[in-house]
Amino acid sequence: MAHAENSYYIPHGSHWPIVASIGVCTLFVGFANFLNGVSWATPVMVVGFAIVVFMMFGWFGTVIKENEKGMYNSQVDMSFRWGMFWFIFSEVMFFAAFFGALYYARVYSIPWLSGDGIGISTNEFLWEGFEGSWPENANGPANIGGEYTPMPAWGLPAINTAILLTSGVTLTWAHHALKAKHRGQLIIGMILTIALGAFFMGLQVVEYIEAYQHLGLTLGSGIYGTTFFMLTGFHGFHVTVGAIILAVILFRIIAGHFSPERHFAFEAAAWYWHFVDVVWLGLFIFVYML
């Protein structure tokens, strides 16, 4: 390819974006109807989801093919880097909204409902006798969802922290192996990372079952249950996505992609994984420990 290193590749038209729009739109329409209790909603959702998956195979497949053909110069590579980096930043802000909600509930709404600060009359006239606290008794004056036991930090969550941190290490190890051309180590590192991610998710499921069955803690357990499950739930979703991305990378490694110098997709997946890791640390501190 003559133009590889000195020209910025501009694809000549692509039908994937419009497929993506149709797919996501179908998925959304299905989901919205599902929430409204419409009977035919589920098949629509499934179709939408299938289109999205098909699109992702097609779109990313095209990009991978182009890349393998050497059509991307280092400037294109840089565009991808900026793109991925700021995408992750936007994800951080999405989590920030939920962390913000947790902060607000703990520092303002629960104390106000309990009569602290500007909440004196609120407590006196509307919720007399309510004494909220955190993490116990944080399901509001109406005791929404009934009695519950908060999730302790030093059981499964601590183990999960160790697991995710280890997975960050194994991933870095794999990265070094990639750069040093140790293919065996690279593949083992990737498998370990993905396995740790899966293990984490497994324990997370155990934790949820524990919460629902033994602790009386559900998504409906007032603001405590709400913030607990929404934060850990969205995080778990991101771990799952991250693990899938890593799996794709693993297959590409096995297929012989990536060179010690050029392996942006690997790095992007690694950034994403580390981001998920850091969010977990935030969760461990603010949701479980404090």
**Of 105-124, which residues contact another protein (CB under 8 A)?**
105, 108-110, 112-113, 117-119, 121-122
CB hemisphere CA count around 53 (13 angstroms): 8
Reading the block at residue 243, the tokens are: 């693990």
CB of 39 to another protein, least distance (A): 14
Q: At 121, which helix (H) or strand (E)? A: helix 120-121
What's the Rg (C-alpha) of the chain? 23
Location of structure tokens 């035919």: 40
Q: Pick the stretch among 42-50, 85-93, 195-203, 204-212 that binds another protein (CB under 8 A).
A: 85-93
User: Cα 170 from chain centroid?
Assistant: 19
Site residues for another protein, window 46-65 (CB under 8 A)? 59
* 8 is an interface residue for another protein by CB under 8 A: yes
Figure out which of the listed residues 40, 86, 237, 251 binds another protein, where binding follows CB under 8 A.
Answer: 86
* 15 is an interface residue for another protein by CB under 8 A: yes
Figure out which of the listed residues 45, 48, 51, 139 binds another protein, where binding follows CB under 8 A.
Answer: 139
> Rounded CA gap, 138 and 223, in Å?
6
Site residues for another protein, window 168-207 (CB under 8 A)? none
* 126 is an interface residue for another protein by CB under 8 A: yes
Q: With respect to another protein, which residue has the nearer C-beta, 18 or 180?
A: 18
* 286 is an interface residue for another protein by CB under 8 A: no
> Rounded CA gap, 248 and 230, in Å?
27
Q: What is the 3-state secondary structure (H, E, C) of 50-106?
A: HHHHHHHHHHHHHHHHHHHCCCCCHHHHHHHHHHHHHHHHHHHHHHHHHHHHHHHHH
Location of structure tokens 């793109």: 83
CB of 117 to another protein, least distance (A): 6
Q: With respect to another protein, which residue has the nearer C-beta, 55 or 250?
A: 55
Figure out which of the listed residues 44, 51, 135, 140 binds another protein, where binding follows CB under 8 A.
Answer: 140
User: x-or-dash pattern for another protein, window 213-242, by CB under 8 A?
Assistant: ------xx-xxxxx--xx------------
